[in-house]
Amino acid sequence: MDVISNAEDVVIDAVASAEDKILDAVSNAEELILEATGAQTIWPAAACLLALVSCVLFTWRVWSFTVRPWLHPNDPKELPYWFPYIGKLRAIGI
């Protein structure tokens, strides 16, 4: 039994060592990629801002031209446009 116990300990140590080496290599690779691209600073913020603006614009458009006309069918229909306030300029002739 003592031989099996020692063999298990050796295998566990070898696996732990290999796991540590793999994690170190992945961490080093990530650091090198971030240093080379400079992506850790601007891209996540820009992507979040773009996603937020897109969601707000899409929600406004669905509300204005789908939900609200469905809730108030007797109100006059508005021509759909993508940008708030800019689309109204066309309606007043500017």
Q: What is the pTM of this model?
A: 0.45
- pLDDT tens for the chain, residues 1 to 94: 566 667 677 767 776 677 777 777 777 777 777 676 665 566 677 788 889 999 998 898 888 888 988 888 898 877 777 666 665 666 666 5
pLDDT at residue 65, as a whole number: 84
Task: With beta carbons less than 8 A apart as the criterion, state whether 28 and 36 touch.
Answer: no
Task: With beta carbons less than 8 A apart as the criterion, state whether 82 and 57 touch.
Answer: yes
CA atoms within a 13 Å half-sphere pointing along the CA-CB vector of 34: 11
Task: With beta carbons less than 8 A apart as the criterion, state whether 46 and 54 touch.
Answer: no
